[in-house]
Amino acid sequence: MKRSKQHLMKRTTRVYLNQLNPGKTATVKNFVYFCHNIMQYYVDLFWQRQDFSGKLADLPTVHLGKNRFLTTTRLCQALAKQAKEIVRSQHKKNVKRKPRLRYHTVTLFYHFVTIEKFEQNGFDWAVKLIGSGAPRLIIPVPSTQLIQQRIADGWLLSKTIRMGIRRDGRLWIDFIFEKERPKLKEEGKIVGMDSNYKNGLVFSDGQTTGDAIYKRTIEFAKRQKHTKAEVKSLIGVAIKQIDFSQIKAIVVEDLKKVKSGTRGTFSRRFNRRLSHWLYRYSETLLERKCEEMGIEVIRKNPWKTSQFCRHCFKWDRRNRRGDKFLCVNCHHGVEHADFNASKNLELLGLLGFYGIHDLQNSCKSKF
Ligand SMILES: [Zn+2]
């Protein structure tokens, strides 16, 4: 059964090839560098031609690379295609800059690679480079829990892989998994979620999770490398703790509207960029999780959601004192300001307004 690409969810899982023997490691790395050079050659060429088409490169162009790098037509075709996609990505931008390939990464299709079950000595897969411009060799891939979990969850392994070298010289393979996207749930609650890294993720149905992340981040702020890896796993754990069974839609803050510096006062040791990354990362993780469960993610303007009173529909700066919400007009409260924000996001979701402003304007016109 063939389905169009829109019906497919995609996930990649990275495996580092630390156990690969030095000879093979060198061969594979040389191949990645080789591909990188060819790709850079094509990026330069398409940039020079101002070709943003994204179409397949024509044969004379493919042959230019083939003759220059003394390799196969097929490899040049594949790399020219990847170079075109990179150049094309500049097309929409107002200020177009010649793309520089910062990472050593190459996508390999089934012409160059096959993936087979291996199951020996702690290895699960054998990735075989099969020529067509790539070297011929077998890469045993160590088993990882994440890959086993994906397969147990019904994900299908794509025939295409990505391969690359990290800045510290470590070689990796990305496996690509695909699965049909489930239909959106029709039954369930619409729930608002406020993400504030002092208090974690606060849901309008009363669930809270991830309140340990902020503390941990501050403790580790000086050693960013460790922080990111650890915080990633903390966010993963936090999201796993949420009970999604009664939820059909989650209303979250539209991150485009979250200005930097408006997220409360971070201590000086708490890196701004890190906090920004934290929001993005937890949003991505939540989004993926929701996609897999058929839960809709709705984005709303977070402006004033923690100071707005959903009982008298009035907003006042004084409604919020620190973490406490208490309405100065109707005295509704006392509750946590983040919980109030999540309730207001839920309200926006239920009523279909993008922000508090639109909600208030529509009330004014009614009375
Ligand atoms: Zn009120």
Residue 270: which pLDDT band, with cuts at 50, 70 and 90? low
Is the predicted pLDDT of residue 260 greater than 60, yes or no? no
- Distance, in Å, from the CA atom of 69 to the CA atom of 37, rounded to the nearest integer, reads 9
Mean pLDDT of 333-337: 87
Q: Mean pLDDT check: name the lowest of 199-208, 256-265, 268-277.
A: 256-265
Provide the 8-state DSSP code for 318. Answer: G
CA–centroid distance, residue 346 to ligand 1 (Å) = 17
Question: Could you read off the pLDDT of 157-196 as tens digits, one per residue?
Answer: 999 999 999 989 999 999 999 999 999 999 999 999 998 7
In the predicted structure, residue 285 carries a pLDDT above the cut 80: yes
pLDDT surpasses 90 at 367: no
Q: How far is the CA of 334 from the centre of ligand 1 (A)?
A: 11
Higher pLDDT, 212 or 135: 135
Residue 117 has pLDDT above 70, yes or no: yes
State in Å: Cα 322 to ligand 1 middle. Answer: 17
Q: What is the Å distance from ligand 1's center to 279 Cα?
A: 30
Q: Output the CA 14–ligand 1 centroid distance in Å.
A: 50
Q: Tell me the backbone φ, ψ of residue 301, rounded to 5 degrees.
A: -70, 120
Q: How far apart are CA 123 and CA 127, in angstroms?
A: 11
State the average pLDDT over residues 90-113. 84
Q: Is the peptide bond before 334 cis (omega within 30 degrees of 0)?
A: yes
Distance 100 CA to ligand 1 centre (A): 54
Task: Tell me the per-residue pLDDT of 190-249, one tens digit each, with 9 for 90 and over.
Answer: 999 998 767 789 999 999 988 877 777 766 655 556 667 788 888 889 999 999 999 999
Q: Check: CB of residue 252 under 8 Å from CB of residue 203.
A: no
pLDDT at 300: 94
**Cα 305 to ligand 1 centroid, rounded to whole Å:** 13
Q: If you measure from the C-alpha of residue 357 to the centroid of ligand 1, how many angstroms do you get, rounded to a whole number?
A: 16
Given this model, what pLDDT does residue 93 score?
75
Tell me the average pLDDT across 314-330: 91
Which has more pLDDT, 216 or 10? 10
Say how many Å lie between the CA of residue 343 and the centre of ligand 1: 13
Report field, pTM of the whole predicted structure over 0.75: yes
Ligand 1 centroid, distance to 201 Cα (angstroms): 24
Going from the Cα of 35 to the center of ligand 1, the distance in angstroms, rounded, reads 63
User: Where is average pLDDT lowest: 128-142, 216-230, 247-261, 334-348?
Assistant: 216-230
- Provide the pLDDT for residue 222: 59
Average pLDDT over residues 259-275: 55
For residues 127-135, average pLDDT: 91
DSSP 8-state secondary structure symbol assigned to residue 307: T
Per DSSP, 88 falls in state: H
Cα 328 to ligand 1 centroid, rounded to whole Å: 7
Which is more confident, 222 or 251? 251
- Asked if 107 contacts 94 with a C-beta cutoff of 8 angstroms, the reply is no
How far is ligand 1, taken at its centre, from the CA of residue 311, in Å? 5
333 CA distance to ligand 1 centroid (A)?
A: 8
**Ligand 1 midpoint to CA 65 (Å):** 69
Q: What letter does residue 302 receive in the DSSP assignment?
A: -
Confidence at residue 1, expressed as pLDDT on a 0 to 100 scale: 46
pLDDT tops 80 at residue 66: yes
CA of 56 to the centre of ligand 1 (A): 61
Nearest by Cα to 228 from 282, 175, 264, 267: 282
pLDDT of 314 higher than 80: yes
d(CA 323, ligand 1 centre) in Å: 17
- Only one residue has tokens 């690379």, namely 65
